[in-house]
Structure 1
Amino acid sequence: MKDYLPCVKDIRATHKHEDLELTHEPVHPDSLGSWALANIHGHEVMLGDAPDPRYFNACREDEVLAPVEIGDARVQAAARA
Structure 2
Amino acid sequence: MTRTVFCRKYQQELEGLDKPPYPGPQGQDIFDNVSKQAWTEWQEHQTRLINEKHLVMTDPDARKYLKEQMQKFLSGGDFDQAEGYVPEGQ
TM-score (norm 1): 0.31
Q: Which structure has more strand as a fraction of its residues? A: 1
Report which structure shows greater RCO (CA 8 Å, sep ≥6): 2
Q: Which structure has more helix as a fraction of its residues? A: 2
TM-score (norm 2): 0.29
